[in-house]
Copies of this chain bind each other. A is one copy, B any other.
Amino acid sequence: MSTLSTKDRILNTTEQLIAEHGFSGISIRKISQAAQSNLAAINYHFGNKQQLINEVLERRLNNLFEIRQRMLDDLNQGESQACVLEQVLHAFIAPALFMINDKNQGGKTFMIVLARAYAEQGEHLHQLMTTKYTDTIKAFADAIHRSAPHLAKETVFWRFHFIIGSLTYAMSDFGASSMSKQMSESEYFNKSVEELIQFALQSLRA
C-alpha cells in the first residue's frame, strides 16, 4: 500500500470510497484523509475533483473494453460464422462480471462504482460510449447481428440495449444486500454470469 505513489493511492482510495458511499458521499477531504495524503495533493495531481473522478472511471473502463474487444477479436479469427452467439455474449458480459473476482486489482470495487456511475455520471459515461468505446460497441452489435440473422438489425439493437441494462443492474446488485446466503461470493458471481448469459441468449433466439 505505502509502496504506491501518492497519485495511485488517491485513485484507489477514491474508487473504494465511491463504492462505499456513492459519488455524492465523497469529498476530497475524506479522500485525502483515507489515502493518507494531503488535501492539496488532489488538486495538484488531478486539477480538480471532477477530473479525479474521470480518471477513476476511465482507468478501468479502458481495461474492460480492451478485454472485451480482444475476446471478440479472438472469436472473429477462427469461427464458423453461425451459432457463436453465446460466445459473443460471453465476451461482452463475462469480462465485466469476472472483473469482480480480480481481488488484487480491486475490480469488484470498480464494478460497483461503474453501476453507480450509470445513474450519477450518466452524461460522462454516455459521452465515453459514443466516442472512445463506440467502435467496440458497434463491433459487438454487428457480431450479434451476424450470429442472429433471423432478427432485424433494429431488434438486435434494442435487445442488446436491454441486455446491457440487465448487466448493469446485476452489477449494481452485487453492491447491495441481496446476496444469497447459501452461496459463497464467487459461486454467486459465477452463477450470475451463467444465468445472465442464458437470459441474454434466450432473448435473442428465433
Contacts and interface: CB of A to CB of B under 8 A. Distances in A.
A205 interface: yes
A195 B159 CA distance: 8
A95 interface: no
B178 A126 contact: yes
Contacts of A40: none
A127 to B, nearest CB: 9
Contacts of A176: 122-123, 126
A27 to B, nearest CB: 11
A196 interface: yes
Given A161-B170, A199-B203, 18 more contacts: A24-B24, A116-B119, A118-B169, A119-B172, A120-B120, A122-B172, A122-B176, A126-B176, A158-B195, A161-B173, A162-B170, A162-B195, A162-B199, A164-B169, A165-B166, A166-B169, A169-B169, A202-B203
